């Protein structure tokens, strides 16, 4: 029996999912996309669900989303997104020292600005607590699960890794679909063991953090979205698979023709992020409406957060990269490096020229400056064949 189409299952009109974009997408963006007939996503990676007040925070977000929907009954038409990386321990003295030297050298050489004291004062904390850590905190975790079940979102998605099988099964039992990012066929095959509902096939063109969880950054093949999608399809064709997950290519998709190509090749939906970066509903719209796309390149770097991410290669990132590769010294892990960078940025901005970290995909030069999320959705769905 062929399975129900994903859009039917989601109760949406168009197979377009907005990328959850932590710190960048807003509730205004998510609700506009759902109102237009796509699926809005809400990133939750910045909330620490070990904290008592976290559920109230989440509830405020959901209330806001609901209030902006044309039909407030449709609050469950949403994808809630978590980061599920391996738990990282805090930096040792050497890593802390290396990070402080690297950032001090970079900022001083770039702007001739004295930040040594600010940098010295930074005490590293974990800026991005993993879903795996929430799972270990049993009582508080059950409160989160119960809350999620009460919202009953159509999708809960995970980036950077896989939650416990019992978590997946609990949520699925309550009619919530589980989607997880894969960046290689090996990760797709691993995900099949968990009986999840859908896979976000993230190619290396994608903006933002790369969701690789099996290969290290230096062993990564960096498959493109198309190669990953076709390789996965080939694998599915030649193996007998008990539960075929929905496939959602993501990375570098910027127009209807490309969406139609993926749908025509059997994708169930696509997930798009970069195309929305210049809209008023993005927190980085000022940058993306004023930069020169043809004079800007992207780079994949783990020097800001501790994990690979594609971003605009600004003067700051170029200097940071050059300084790092002169010595290649060990830095704090994910979450801790990111915390240090964010702390520094809030303390010294706007005194410095620009130490922004502009997450963005390879095809950013196709961004349509000056358009709203609604206008972009209108263009995408106009000639959509699905």
Ligand X SMILES: Cc1cc2nc3c(=O)[nH]c(=O)nc-3n(C[C@H](O)[C@H](O)[C@H](O)COP(=O)(O)O)c2cc1C
Just list the catalytic residues: 209
28-47 residues near ligand X, rule: CB under 6 A? 43, 45
HSE, CB side, 13 Å, CA atoms: give it for residue 48.
9
Alpha-carbon 198 to chain mean position:
16
Contact of 370 with 278, CB cutoff 8 Å: yes
How far apart are CB 345 and ligand X at their closest, in Å? 16
Q: Which is nearer to ligand X, 105 or 224 (CB)?
A: 224
Kindly tell me which residue out of 84, 178, 360, 377 binds ligand X, with binding defined by CB under 6 A.
360
Residue from the set 15, 208, 245, 332 that interacts with ligand X by CB under 6 A: 208
Nearer to ligand X, 252 or 333 (CB): 252
Packed helices 93-111 and 336-348: angle between N→C axes, nearest 10 degrees: 30
Closer CB to ligand X, 250 or 302, in the complex? 250
Rule CB under 6 A: say whether 335 interacts with ligand X: no
Residues 245-304 binding ligand X (CB under 6 A) are 250-253, 271-274
Can you tell me the distance from the alpha carbon of 382 to that of 50, in angstroms, rounded to the nearest whole number?
44
What is the pairing mode between strands 177-182 and 198-202? parallel
Nearer Cβ to ligand X (209/371): 209
Tokens for 323, please give them. 């300084």
> Minimal CA–CA distance to 193: which of 180, 203, 174?
180
Smallest separation, CB 225 to ligand X (Å): 8
The C-alpha atoms of residue 386 and residue 384 are separated, in whole angstroms, by: 6
Instruction: Candidates 16-24, 119-127, 229-237, 339-347: pick the segment binding ligand X (CB under 6 A).
Output: 16-24
| Pairs from 91-99 (Cβ < 8 Å, separation ≥ 24) | 91/124, 91/331, 91/332, 91/333, 91/336, 94/329, 94/330, 95/330, 95/331, 95/332, 96/124, 96/332, 98/327, 98/329, 98/330, 98/331, 99/331, 99/332, 99/337, 99/340
Distance CA(131)–CA(117), nearest Å, equals 34
Residue nearer to ligand X on the CB measure, 278 or 363: 363
Which residues are CB-neighbours of 123 under 8 A, at least 6 positions away? none
Q: Pick from 20, 91, 333, 335: which binds ligand X (CB under 6 A)?
A: 20
* Of 6, 21, 196, 381, the one binding ligand X by CB under 6 A: 21
Helix (H) or strand (E) holding 198: strand 198-202
Q: Please check whether residue 246 is in contact with residue 236, taking contact to mean a CB–CB distance below 8 angstroms.
A: no
168-207 mask for ligand X (x: CB under 6 A)?
-------------x--------------------x--xxx
Strand-pair partners of 41 = 79
Return the range that interacts with ligand X (CB under 6 A); candidates 111-119, 316-324, 353-361, 374-382. Answer: 353-361
Binding of ligand X at residue 162 (CB under 6 A)?
Answer: no
Q: Which of these ranges, 325-333, 339-347, 356-364, 374-382, lies near ligand X under the rule CB under 6 A?
A: 356-364
Shorter beta-carbon distance to ligand X: residue 45 or 95: 45
CB neighbour list of residue 267: distance below 8 Å, 6 or more residues apart: 15, 229, 247, 248, 249
Closest to ligand X by CB, 34 vs 274, is 274
Size of the site for ligand X (CB under 6 A): 28
81 binds ligand X (CB under 6 A): yes
Q: Which stretch binds ligand X (CB under 6 A): 21-29, 85-93, 184-192, 238-246?
A: 21-29
Positions in 142-161 near ligand X (CB under 6 A): 159
Contact footprint for ligand X (CB under 6 A)? 19-22, 24, 43, 45, 81, 159, 181, 202, 205-209, 250-253, 271-274, 359-361, 363
């Amino acid at each position: 029996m062929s399975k129900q189409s994903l859009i039917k299952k989601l109760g949406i009109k168009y197979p377009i999912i907005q990328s959850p974009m932590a710190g960048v997408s807003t509730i205004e963006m998510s609700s506009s996309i759902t109102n237009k007939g796509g699926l809005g996503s809400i990133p939750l990676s910045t909330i620490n669900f070990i904290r008592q007040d976290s559920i109230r925070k989440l509830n405020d977000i959901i209330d806001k989303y609901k209030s902006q929907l044309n039909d407030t009954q449709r609050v469950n038409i949403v994808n809630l997104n978590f980061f599920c990386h391996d738990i990282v321990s805090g930096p040792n003295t050497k890593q802390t020292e290396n990070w402080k030297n690297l950032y001090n050298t970079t900022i001083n050489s770039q702007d001739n600005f004295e930040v040594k004291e600010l940098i010295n004062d930074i005490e590293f904390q974990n800026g991005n607590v993993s879903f795996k850590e929430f799972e270990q905190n049993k009582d508080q975790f059950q409160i989160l699960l119960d809350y999620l079940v009460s919202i009953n979102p159509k999708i809960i998605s995970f980036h950077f890794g896989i939650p416990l099988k019992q978590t997946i099964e609990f949520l699925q039992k309550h009619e919530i679909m589980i989607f997880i990012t894969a960046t290689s066929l090996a990760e797709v095959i691993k995900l099949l063991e968990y009986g999840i509902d859908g896979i976000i096939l993230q190619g290396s063109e994608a903006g933002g953090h790369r969701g690789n969880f099996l290969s290290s950054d230096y062993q990564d093949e960096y498959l493109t979205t198309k190669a990953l999608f076709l390789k996965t399809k080939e694998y599915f064709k030649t193996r007998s698979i008990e539960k075929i997950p929905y496939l959602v290519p993501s990375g570098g998709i910027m127009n209807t023709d490309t969406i139609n190509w993926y749908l025509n090749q059997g994708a169930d939906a696509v997930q798009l992020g970069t195309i929305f970066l210049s809209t008023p509903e993005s927190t980085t719209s000022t940058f993306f409406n004023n930069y020169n796309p043809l004079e800007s390149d992207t780079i994949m770097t783990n020097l800001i957060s501790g994990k690979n991410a594609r971003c605009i290669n600004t003067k700051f990132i170029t200097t940071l990269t050059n300084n790092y590769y002169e010595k290649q010294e060990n830095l704090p892990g994910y979450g801790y490096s990111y915390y240090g960078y964010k702390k520094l940025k809030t303390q010294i901005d706007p005194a410095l020229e620009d130490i922004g970290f502009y997450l963005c995909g390879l095809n950013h030069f196709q961004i349509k400056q000056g358009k709203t999320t609604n206008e972009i959705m209108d263009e995408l769905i106009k000639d959509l064949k699905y």
